[in-house]
Each structure stands twice: as C-alpha cells, then as structure tokens.
Structure 1
C-alpha cells in the first residue's frame, strides 16, 4: 500500500469540471450560472503532454547536465516504484489522454442548450422599387405611369425565457416616395410579448433539456473516474505482476545453480564409486527442469515488462527499456476491514452506480419534458407600438412619442388531432425511466456481489501468505534432512531432487501469495470505488448521487 506521505496529487481534467451544477429553476438564477470556459481550462486541466520531458530534464540541444532519479530513464534503465508507475500512467497513458476529451466534448452540449435562452439580436434592411402603368380606353388620354420606392430598416432584440415567455423589442423605420406623393418617413418602436399558457408554460419542462445536458456532463465525469480507477488498478496489477515475474526468475536462477551444483557433486561421488551411475540421470533431469522453468520465467518477465511500459508510456523510454522495481510487497499484512464497510462505500462511491443514478435522473427529466407535449398549445400575445411620421428621418423619430400608436391582443391555439407523436414520446420516456430504475437495482446487486467476492479473495490470499510461509519453512527443513542423508550415503539423488523441487514450488507459492494479496486489495478498493481516494488521487465523483424514487 502507498504510504500517506507519498500520495499522488496529479492534476486531472475532471478537477476543472467537478464544480458544475444543474441549472436552477428561475431565469434570474440561470443567468448567474457561468458557462464553463472549456477552451481556457483545457490546457491547464490536461497537465503535461505525453511527450513532455521529466522535470529537470535538459531541453533538446542543451548540455546533458540532468541526472535521472527514481521513475526516470537513463541508458535504457528505468527504476520504478509503484507510486511513480501510477503517476507516469496518469500523465502519459494514451487511453487516458483520449478519455480526458470526452467530458470536454459532452460539456459543449450544455452551451448549446443554454444558448436557447440567450438574447438574439436581429436586423433587416430592404430596398424596393416598383412601376405601375394605367392605360385608358380613350386614345386621347395618355397612360399614367407611377413609380414608387420603399426602403425599410428594422433591428431589435428577442429572447426566450424559461417561464415560457418570448419577448421581442424592435425599432423600425420606413422611407416611402412616389411620383404621386412626397418623401415620407415612418418610425416605429414596438414590444411584443408571447406567453405560453399550456404547453411550454412550466419552467421545469423548459429547462429539462439544459438539465439533461448537465446530467450528461456529470455522467461523463463519473465515467472518466471509473476509467481512471481501472487504469490505476491495471498499472498496479501490471507492476506487481512484473515484480512476481522478476522474483520467479530469481528463484529459478538460484534453483538452477543449486541443481547444477548438485549434479556436479553427484558426478564426483560417481567417479569415486560412492554412487551408482544411474543417479546422474536424476540429477541431470532435475537440472533440465530448472532450466525449462527459468526459460518460461524469463519470457513471462519480458511480457509483463512491456505490458507495464505500455500502461505508463514513459516519454523517453522504448520497448527495450529495462525496468527495475523498487518496491517489494510486505508479507506482514494488516487485517481487512469488515465486508459491510466496503459494501457501504461501494454504494456511495462506485462510479458505475453514480452514473446509473444520473441516468435515472435524466429519465425523470425526459418524462417531465415529454409530458408537456400532451397539452395543447395555447399562447397569449400582446403587441404594443408607437409610431412617428415626418418628412425627414430625424423628425420621424422625434415624433415617436406622439399620438400615433398601435396594439393587439390575442390567443393562438394549436393541437394535433390525436396527438399521436406526443403520446408515444411520453410513453417511451416513462418506459425508459422504468428501465433505468431496473438497471440501477440490478447494478446495486451486482456491486454487492463484486465487493463480497473481492473481499473473500483478499481474505483468502491474506491467509495463504501465512500458510505458504509455513510450508516453505518446513520444506527447507525437509531439504536439509535429505542433503544430510545424501552426504552420509543413506539418501538418493532422486529423493534430494524431489525435496529441492518441493522447496522450489513452496517458494514460488509464497511469492505468488504475497503478490496476489496486494493485487486482491487493489481490486477490492476498485470494486468499492475507493481506490483513487486511498491512493491520494483527486478526481470528481467522490460523493454519491441521490435519486428519489
């Protein structure tokens, strides 16, 4: 386990996104909500790029005055602790760099939905001219030709509010002139309000899409946290697999040396007539078995090494870099916390559960939004205007506060016969919400199952440490006894080889039990959703999402 004074505090993208909240129910509060400056925060939140050199490393072309330390590469050598392995993976892993973009992508949809309530500035300008010819039946009356021009300019501001209100303020000026009339300017300032009375009148329905976008962003953060936990677990597992493979290689190398020494001793005894020649076969077979095991151990160590390098992706390393692990698991392990404590933590902190709860919330919002479609659309509109008329542009605007005015009040009704599409949408939203609730209940049950299985595995490997340690100690005693009998001539090379083989297997089982317990603890913490907290890695999603049923 990582010591508290060596906890990791990497800067994750999710930290920049963890403060996002759902939009309040009123427009005044909605205006106070800042839109996340995604592009400005992105570079700071990502941290160092995958190709960034370690801190203190010389820049390209600079004098080589940099001295590598633990977790850094020098001449194809990488000294690595488990904490450094996790830290390097959080900085350089390519899958994590790809996953970091997803919350940013999802967050852009919030801005799209928020833009629905942003004010819109509009303007329009048109120039028109027409000519009409009036012909008379009498030949002595000439045709009358009328030419007219009309220039129109209008600008204004409109906005939709979460209350179902549409507001439009407009300013308009019109210049008209013809061969029959003098040039005239008309100016108008108008205000139009349209209020939904049935469909679209509820604030929670109008804000549903925006809140769903916020929920989607939060879901992506929990998904990102779950991916980060899985990555940390994979890195720790790969690190301890490499430690185990290195230990197995060391054990086989030592056992091969012992088998070679035993073979040479047997040959010497055969030459002096102390042992029959048939015992050389047993000693040679034992040496061959040790060499066979060493070949497999070295191959396994190479595979786990490149797997570890792929996960941590060190910026100045390559596939041939030799990794030297600095940590060794402690065979003295503390007792496990009660399984009930881990299950309670999993119910609150496991990212998959919180993501499922957010899906239920999203389904509730979709149900609220689609239910509005069952209502007819009934809107009340009010239009007020003041107009001014003059023969000059400036005079027309000064006359706007004069006696010229206009107003209109009315109702607009719209209702599709049968309303089949809205009914289908509402029914689908209800079924989807029920499906999300069933999925949440199933995931809660599976979470309890996963946590208990992980706890039982951690407890099993913990007990196996003491059992394999005792077995190894007893096998050492057995080997010493066989060696003593072989030296005095009462034992055989076959019995001695069997004792050496049993000791080798007990050594391997002890090393594997210690490593597997460390990996089982990592898996238990991942299943309970506490792995990042226990490793001191700050990320969003450390609080439970509450869902009302």
Structure 2
C-alpha cells in the first residue's frame, strides 16, 4: 500500500473515531469541529518524518549527482565501448606470423623404368614460416615467407638424396586507385573514431541535462519549503482569527456564525497545509532520485534541507553573444556536425568503390638447394661421384643470391556499365545533402530556442516585480482590514478574504521566483553552458 493510501485510511479512521466520540457527547462538538480535528490529525501524521536532517547546497547536490547518478554511470561506459571497438578494428593492422611443420612418407608403385625399382618410397619434412601485414596507409599489404623442406627417396635416379630446398619470398601489393585513399577497414576505423567523439558529446549532453534537471529539482524543493512556510503563516492567521472571534462571541460583540466561518477557513488552511507538505515530500523525492545511487544511500533515508536561496539580481543578457555561444557549444549541433563527418567518410568510401581496381604487385624470391649429390656416368648410368652436402649448401645459395626471381605485375578490374557502386554513391550524395539541410534546420531551431529563452527571462523579471508589489499591497490590505475589523468597521468575511488574497499573492511571488530560476536554467541549457555554470570539467 502506498504512503498516500495509508494516510487516507488513517485520516478516515481518525475522522470516524472523532465522529463516534461526538455521537457519545453530542453537545460538545459540531460538524465543523469534527473536520478541524480530523484535518489536524492528518496533517500531524503527514508532517511526521524520520531519519537525519541534511542541509544541502546546490553545489553539493551537483557534486553528489555527478558522483552517483545512475544515468551518468551508464553513459560513462559508452566511450569505453567505442575504445574497445576501435582497438579491435586497429588489430587488422597488426602483423601476423604463421608457421607450419609436417612430416610425411609415401610409398608408390613403380610406373616407369626411371623409378628404379618395384616401388618408390618418398619421405618429406616441411618447415615453413611467414609474416604478413596490412599497412594503415595506402591500403597496401606485404607478405614474407620462408619455406624449407627435406626429401629423400628410394628412386635410383635421384640426383640429390636427401635433398634440401629453401625458398625466401617477399611480395607487396599496392592499390593504385580503388582502395588507395580508403577501404572498408579504414572506413570502419574512421567512423568508429567519430562515434567515439559522439559518445563524448553524448556524455556531455547527459551531464548537462542532469545538472539542469537537478537545478530545477533543487529550486522546486526550495519553492515547496517556502510555500510550506507561507501555508503555516496562513494557518496561524486563520487560527488567530478563530480565537479572536471566539473571544468576541463570549463578550457578545460578534455573532456565533462568524466563528463557524473562521473555523471553516482554518480547516481549509489546514487542508492547504497538508497539500503543501505532500508537495514538499514529492519535490524532495524528485531531488533524491537524481543524487543517490541506491536506496541504501544516506541521502535517500534523510530529510533534505535546501539552504541556498534564489538570487533575484539578473544581469542584462546580450542576445547576440548568447546565440553565438549556443551555436558553438550546443551538443546537439556538435553531434550533427560529427554525423555529417560520418556521412562524408561513407561518401568517400562509396566514391572509392566506383573506381577501377588497379593493383601493383611486386615479388622478389631467392632459392637454394643442397644435400648429398650423386653424379652419374650418363642418363641412367651408374654413380661415379658422391658429393656430400646438407642444408647449409641450400642456405649458402640463398644468401649468395645465386638464383633470384623477381616479378612485377599490374592487375586491373573494372565493371562494364553502371555498377551497384555507382548507384550507392549517388544515394550517398543525396543523403549528404539531407544531412546538411538537417544541420541548417537545427541551427535555426537553436536560434529560436535561445531567443525564446531570453524573452522568457526578461518577461519573468517583470512578473517578479509585479508579484512583489502585489504581495506588499496584499499585506497592507490585510493589515488595514484587520484594523477596520478591530474597530467594528468591517466584517469577518472581508478579513478572511484578505487572508486568502495574501496567501495567494505570496504563492504567486514564490512561483514567479521559481519560474525565474527555471528560465535561467533553461537559458543555460539551450546554450549548453550548465557545465561552465556548475564548474564541471569532463576529462576525455
């Protein structure tokens, strides 16, 4: 059951208890008295609180929100997510090492006289390694491979047995048109970096909005606190009038009906007081929601007492400088500009895809061979000389560049007719024009919001002046009406009406002051200067 429902049940029970007591003693109370007692008990229940009281300045509330607000805690993680995405994409440019080792043996039936027997047994051991990497500039990539193998065979006519072969090969592929300035990997990296900046912008915007919401909630709590004081004062005036009327009835200078009217007004004031207390609790809860991280927080279980009060002296506002600052600092504009940068990156990638694919490939290769060599008297003749050797001979030939091989080639590919890339590029151009138009529209919207915010501040300043004058006149009117009533020249009705007018004028003045603070907060928000006003620095 909610607290409001609980209070309502208690109020009804209190009212029924009071009525039952009145039925037992009908001559002691009447219906207005029952209402007064029930309302008083309800107000007492609603005003009771528990937990410590914490005095809170606006600066302390902002610091608390920046430290514990859950929306900010969530938003702070987004830049880190993009950092990890960027690290993952940059790993495409890290060199990769590969190697393979294998050993095999094969027995094949003899198919020709050159096999030198009924079957041929071949043993092969392979030791290969390589390095490849895509470079982050120009779209090129290189490969370096070192291949080594040892083979032996029972074939009688083998010249090297065992035979060692080594091969070193380096190649580089360089795109000349398509893929030279940008490719899919570099496109993703550039977009991710821009999105990382956008995440920072979104974080600033969340901080700005949180501070604006907190400042509004703080001044709402101040307004609710001061409104409660006004309602206490109004209740005291109403109760004083009840006591004064009761004294006048006792001496016979006032009719009893005037006491009933005064009591009814006091009961209405108690009801208004209960509503003010409820509004205070609601405003306090709204502020707590912005500055706590959980219900275990000390601020959640405490009664918050705002100690700052609004400063009514507002400096003149230069619309031109305010508008210029907004166009520079607004996070939504900054976000749109970065979105335009993303569109330009995608447009560049689309244009790149329409170009012919022309790749320049260069390859350089060194090779060597070694092992025990058998020299024969002729083709198929007997072995006349055996020259011992090993893998060292193969490496000697390799490093002496005895058998170099180099290759340069150009690969060209281009689709005939209009390709899908051409259509995608044309679509991207239209989207770029749309984004540019949206940015201009947003700039116009910002100018409208800033101008309207300045107008609101100036108008509310005039409202405060009028509301203050009205409150002062209401105080004078109540004092004059009370003097006339004391002299017997006025009635109870006019005194009650003057009290109501004073309470309404005080509330109007407080509301105007609150609206002024909200207008100033909105002016800061539309400029995105809440961070500066609060002295907040976001470290990227």
Using structure 1 for the length normalisation, give the TM-score: 0.80
1:442 and 2:441 are equivalent in the alignment = yes
Which of these residues, 248, 267, 280, is aligned with residue 259 of structure 2?
A: 280
1:328 and 2:327 are equivalent in the alignment = no
**CA-to-aligned-CA distance 1:114-158 (integer Å, 9 cap, x gap):** 233332222233333322113689xxx997211212222222222
- Contact map agreement 2:51 2:301 (CA 8 A) in 1: no
1:382 and 2:332 are equivalent in the alignment = no
Q: Could you list the runs of 5+ residues in structure 1 that have no partner in the other structure?
A: 1-73, 542-549
**Structure 2 match to 1:346:** 326
1:83 and 2:62 are equivalent in the alignment = no
Q: What SS class does the counterpart of residue 99 from structure 2 fall into?
A: strand
- Residue 165 of structure 1: how far off its partner (Å): 2.0
**Structure 1 match to 2:165:** 186
- Residue 206 of structure 1: how far off its partner (Å): 7.1
- Contact map agreement 2:317 2:454 (CA 8 A) in 1: no
Quick check: which one's helix share is greater? 2
**Structure 2 match to 1:121:** 97
Give the direction of change, closer, same or farther, for the CA distance of 1:532–1:516 in structure 2 (3 Å limit): same
**Structure 2 match to 1:151:** 125
- Residue 318 of structure 1: how far off its partner (Å): 5.7
1:96 and 2:72 are equivalent in the alignment = yes
RMSD: 2.3
Q: CA separation in 2, counterparts of 1:196 and 1:307?
A: 60
Q: CA separation in 2, counterparts of 1:508 and 1:307?
A: 21
Most deviating of 380-389 and 473-482: 380-389
Q: What SS class does the counterpart of residue 432 from structure 2 fall into?
A: helix
Q: Could you list the runs of 5+ residues in structure 2 that have no partner in the other structure?
A: 1-49, 372-389
Which of these residues, 325, 328, 342, is aligned with residue 362 of structure 1?
A: 342
Q: CA separation in 1, counterparts of 2:320 and 2:260?
A: 57
Give the direction of change, closer, same or farther, for the CA distance of 1:191–1:136 in structure 2 (3 Å limit): closer
Q: CA separation in 1, counterparts of 2:67 and 2:366?
A: 64
- Contact map agreement 1:204 1:368 (CA 8 A) in 2: no
Q: CA separation in 1, counterparts of 2:333 and 2:183?
A: 25
- Residue 207 of structure 1: how far off its partner (Å): 3.9
- Contact map agreement 1:199 1:377 (CA 8 A) in 2: yes
Which of these residues, 396, 399, 403, is aligned with residue 397 of structure 2?
A: 399
**Structure 2 match to 1:431:** 430
Give the direction of change, closer, same or farther, for the CA distance of 1:136–1:538 in structure 2 (3 Å limit): closer
Q: What SS class does the counterpart of residue 190 from structure 1 fall into?
A: strand
Q: CA separation in 2, counterparts of 1:319 and 1:343?
A: 39
- Contact map agreement 1:169 1:192 (CA 8 A) in 2: yes
- Residue 224 of structure 1: how far off its partner (Å): 0.9
- Contact map agreement 1:205 1:368 (CA 8 A) in 2: no
Alignment of structure 1 residues 198-277 onto 2, 5 Å = 198-202=177-181, 207-277=186-256
Q: CA separation in 1, counterparts of 2:130 and 2:352?
A: 30
Using structure 2 for the length normalisation, give the TM-score: 0.81
- Residue 351 of structure 1: how far off its partner (Å): 0.6
**CA-to-aligned-CA distance 1:476-504 (integer Å, 9 cap, x gap):** 11001000011011111110011011111
- Residue 517 of structure 1: how far off its partner (Å): 1.1
Give the direction of change, closer, same or farther, for the CA distance of 1:206–1:108 in structure 2 (3 Å limit): closer
**CA-to-aligned-CA distance 1:36-65 (integer Å, 9 cap, x gap):** xxxxxxxxxxxxxxxxxxxxxxxxxxxxxx
Q: CA separation in 1, counterparts of 2:120 and 2:52?
A: 93
